[in-house]
Amino acid sequence: MENRILVTGGTGLIGKYLQNEMPSAFYVGSSDYNLTENDQVIKMFKDIKPNIVIHLAALVGGVHHNIEEPVKYFEENVLMNTFVLKESYKFNVKRFTGILSSCIYPDKISSYPIKEDQLIEGAPHKDLFSYSYAKRCLGIQIDMYNKKYNTNYNYLIPCNLYGEFDKFDPIRGHFVGALINKIIIAKNSKKKSIELFGDGTPLRQFMHARDIAIIITHMIDKNKYLNMNVATDENYTIDKIANIALKVCDAQHLEIKYNPDKPNGQMRKDIDTSIFEKNFPDIELIRLSQGIKEIYKKLKK
């Protein structure tokens, strides 16, 4: 049987890279179907008739926007996840892959890097609490479908992502994308500094979204059904990441001014990638400096 692959969130950060890896899949965005409405989700399945679903769709934003809109981040994500997963099962989808986030892990944890089986050791960080719990719920939902119905559904838990298709916005964007944008604006307007939230001490792993698209494609090609963390081995402070960006963007003259009145977010959340490395030893991930340089060159034009 020929694969008919449905990708929700197909016009987003990962989805646009996935279009290059799997051009024959069906890519839908929020302008095509409203995934928070069950009738719309049923219509999507009737229209496309997929046997594989890659569920990327999510309401995603920066720490500040999550703090401002906690109800929105929880409700919209829980509704999307529940309807898409439920209808996948009803329409006999053979593979469902959901994309979670490393922010779902407990804020206070016994050991680092965090392994997949530590998911429910405690509550996630308060600043991303509702989004994190909505994504954590999807992982539990997938596990329960497998337990109850013997399905082969799985999820990936990536670290923080960046890419050229990100929202380059200081409030709704991911950190690296917003950082590159701030550097470009500062250089163009001849400013002497950029402002970053917090104090620069939290540790973060950042991964190019193109790599997630490649990993998803390899999972399907190799017929693997794994719940696993996906991340690079680069675990740096926000300050180090910012200085890497200044260097590769030829902007070392800019001073970094930290705003301690803004939240740091979770202090540390580096994840263990043993399962990923064991199963996909030939996938070489893009180094942070290389990825930032690539995106900067495209955006500065």
pLDDT at 170: 61
Alpha-carbon distance of 178 to 199, in angstroms, equals 17
Task: Please tell me the predicted confidence (pLDDT) of residue 127.
Answer: 87
pLDDT of residue 300: 83
Q: What architecture (CATH level 2) is domain 175-201+235-268+287-299?
A: Alpha-Beta Complex (3.90)
Where the chain has pLDDT below 50, the residues are: none
For the chain, give every domain's residue range: 5-162+205-234+270-279, 175-201+235-268+287-299
Can you read off the two tokens belonging to residue 177? 């994308």
Per-residue confidence (pLDDT) for residue 65, from 0 to 100: 82
Structure tokens at 108: 């206070």
CATH topology of domain 5-162+205-234+270-279: Rossmann fold (3.40.50)
Identify the pLDDT of residue 146.
98
d(CA 161, CA 75): 23
Q: pTM surpassing 0.75?
A: yes
